[in-house]
Amino acid sequence: MSSKRLIFLGPPGAGKGTQAKFLSEEANIPHISTGDILRTAIDTGTPLGQKAQSYVDAGELVPNDLILDLISERLQKPDAQLGWILDGFPRNLKQAQFLDEILKDLNQHSVCILNLEVPEEELVSRLLKRHRQDDNEVTIRHRLEVYHEETEPLIDFYSDRTVHSVNGNRPLQEVTAALKEIVEAS
């Protein structure tokens, strides 16, 4: 797989992180998730990480603008110059518009948008099987509502580009093969 810039869309539990990890290893490009960026910035004590730490210490959500700055900083690192996979970002229209601006400034074009589709009841089932403390049915259904309200509109936002929708409700290897085929052809 040649160097690529990939954005993974899809609801919680669709398999974005799992598939992004596989493709990242295959293409030898970084798999970038906002949670990982946040943890790394805090752990290494970067100026943005120190700002984020103050919000975390206060038990508050890290503001959108700080997340955007962290993404911008991460995309400028040497390992991301030949490609990357964004998993869980952008999550809303403001972030998508900001990402377009960053990519324009960095002269990084030809982004491939991959959307994993999985029926809602399957998502709930998958997320309940993870046995995470915050994964109960009420919380999961709320996260899916937030996805439908804030993230799903990104499919329309990116309609002027090609959004590749992939059936994520089949065996892992089949989903990986379908994604690789799209990425290699784009």
Which domain range does residue 112 map to? 5-29+83-185
pLDDT of residue 6: 96
| pLDDT per residue of the chain (186 residues) written in tens, 0 to 9 | 556 899 999 999 999 999 999 999 999 999 999 888 888 999 999 998 999 999 888 878 788 889 899 899 999 999 999 899 999 899 899 999 999 999 999 998 889 999 999 999 999 999 999 887 777 899 899 889 989 999 999 999 999 988 999 999 999 999 999 999 999 998
Structural domain contains residue 43 = no
Residue 53 lies in a domain: no
Lookup: tokens for 89: 């970002």
Whether residue 42 lies inside any domain: the answer is no
Please report the pLDDT score of residue 3 as a whole number: 61
Q: What is the CATH number of the domain that holds 150?
A: 3.40.50.300
- At residue 140, the pLDDT reads 92
List the beta bridge partners of residue 7. 86, 113
Per the domain annotation, does 138 fall within a domain?
Answer: yes
Task: Give residue 2's pLDDT.
Answer: 55
Map 73-142 to HEC letters. Answer: HHHCCHHHCCCEEEECCCCCHHHHHHHHHHHHHCCCCCEEEEEEECCHHHHHHHHHHCCCCCCCHHHHHH
Question: Token pair of 33, please?
Answer: 């998730």
Residue 35: per-residue pLDDT? 82
Query: Can you give the pLDDT at residue 61?
Result: 75
Sheet containing 111-117: give its strands across: 31-33, 84-87, 5-9, 111-117, 163-167
| Strand pairing category for 31-33 and 84-87 | parallel
Closest by CA to 161, choosing from 6, 20, 3, is 6
Compute the distance between CA of residue 157 and CA of residue 90 in angstroms, rounded to an integer: 11
| Count of structural domains, the chain | 1
Let me know if residue 56 belongs to a domain: no
Residue 129 domain-assigned (yes or no): yes
Residue 87 within any structural domain of the chain: yes
Q: At 179, which helix (H) or strand (E)? A: helix 172-185
Whether residue 126 lies inside any domain: the answer is yes
